[in-house]
Amino acid sequence: MKARQILFKTARIIGRLFYRKHVWLISDREGSAGDNGEAFFKYLQSKAVNAVFAIRKDSEDYDRISKIGNVVDMRSLKYKLLLCISDCHCSSQLFHMENHIETPQIFLQHGVAYSDISKMIKPVNHKNFYIITVSDMEREQLIRGGVSEDHVWLTGLPRFDYLKCKDGNKVIAVFSWRASLSGLNEDVLKESRYYKMLDRIIKDEELREEISRRGYKLYFKLHPEVLRHKHFFSEVDENYFYTDTYNKLFEEVSLMVTDYSSAISDCVYMYKPIIYFQFDQNQFYEGNPFVSLGLFDYENHGFGPVITDYDDLKSAILGLIDEGCRMEEKYREHVDEYFKYIDKDNCERVFDKIRTLLNKY
């Protein structure tokens, strides 16, 4: 690790002597965009900044992003050079942030940290590591977890600026992965409580018919880890699975059902109703190497009802549909209390923070 850091530091010193272009390197996932990185990259096109977006050239998003601005192949030598010499590296993922400690690293996050993510952040936290947040509670949690106070920026998520809201008459279920299931063989996975519950909901034709009778459709947006085992649900109609982007999902969904997924943040930011179905409350944090229970309490701070019984879940879904999929007033108040900003200026606040930081160099 130290040898790499010395190599990257040397490359930065020499590279910045000869490569005079002041690059802001931006990224999301290696093989896809559509997150806070892309949103911030769009915003930077109107600024006097040499922004370059990093993504694999074989990604389906490569051509689309290249029409927005400058793009670099994440598998190229140029990308590795830019990691060393860029003015800053901003990403919704934690790619390479642990090694390039001489370069300001801004973690844009890919969700809101309702849980304590300090175990995930600790390995990448260094003198030039910064992280953005959406609330005082989230900020406090990160500071308690070891990130320096002036390195936790309360700005809001860039992608919130580009949210669009329309009524698509869709009920979409989005469930988090269970870290305790990683590495298990398929026979064990298929018999886990997690997969059995997903299977029960997906194959519940009675629920689907009741939702359909009310003019709505039920879909599932499967977690990437679950997608690897999609054949578990081989007898299920493919049309039940939502395959469009998360951005499209947030736009079209009328009611979201989740357990712990931070994907609900974009929905509640637009005051769309959600239901927490936490059928394994006692086991969720067990064996999770990345997150643990934090300051956020789903019962007291959450943005929708917390349900643990399956029959109660069905009643709650149908009840909210019958009410026109409107978020209850008490949950609207929770949204207003939790999010520091509900506006379209999140990118601007991130930009101002980075510009102020770079002016110190």
Q: Which residues contact 224 (CB under 8 A, 6 or more apart)?
A: 177
Report the amino acid identity of residue 356.
T
* CA–CA gap between residue 80 and residue 92 (Å, rounded): 18
**pLDDT above 80 for 194:** yes
Domains, the chain: 2-156+342-358 (3.40.50.11820), 164-338 (3.40.50.12580)
Most confident of 108-117, 259-268, 341-350: 341-350
Most confident of 15-19, 112-116, 192-196, 337-341: 337-341
What helix, strand, coil percent values describe the chain, rounded to 5?
Answer: 45, 15, 40
C-alpha 50: how far from its chain's center? 25
Average pLDDT, the chain: 93
From 96-110, 122-136, 157-171, 275-289, the region with the lowest mean pLDDT:
275-289
Q: Which two tokens stand for residue 94?
A: 């934690």
CB 170 within 8 A of CB 219: yes
Closest CA to 135 of 113, 116, 115, 150: 113
Q: Which residues contact 200 (CB under 8 A, 6 or more apart)?
A: 310
Which position has the token pair 């298929």? 190
pLDDT score at 137: 97
Give residue 256's pLDDT band: very low, low, confident or very high (50, 70, 90). very high
Give residue 95's pLDDT band: very low, low, confident or very high (50, 70, 90). confident
End-to-end CA gap in the chain: 25
**Partners of residue 107 on adjacent β-strands:** 91, 131
> Torsions phi, psi of 307, nearest 5?
-125, 140
* CA–CA gap between residue 221 and residue 247 (Å, rounded): 12
Per the rule left: phi > 0, alpha: psi between -120 and 50, beta: everything else, 202 is alpha
Give residue 1's pLDDT band: very low, low, confident or very high (50, 70, 90). low
Report the amino acid identity of residue 170.
K
Q: Taking the CA atoms of the chain, what radius of gyration do you get in angstroms?
A: 21
> Torsions phi, psi of 75, nearest 5?
-100, 10
Given CA atoms 185, 191, 196, 199 in this order, what sign does their dihedral have? positive
Q: C-alpha distances in angstroms, 35 versus 19, 54, 159, 179, 273?
A: 29, 13, 6, 22, 22
**Which run of H or of E encompasses 116?**
none
Mean pLDDT of 171-198: 90
* CA–CA gap between residue 124 and residue 121 (Å, rounded): 6
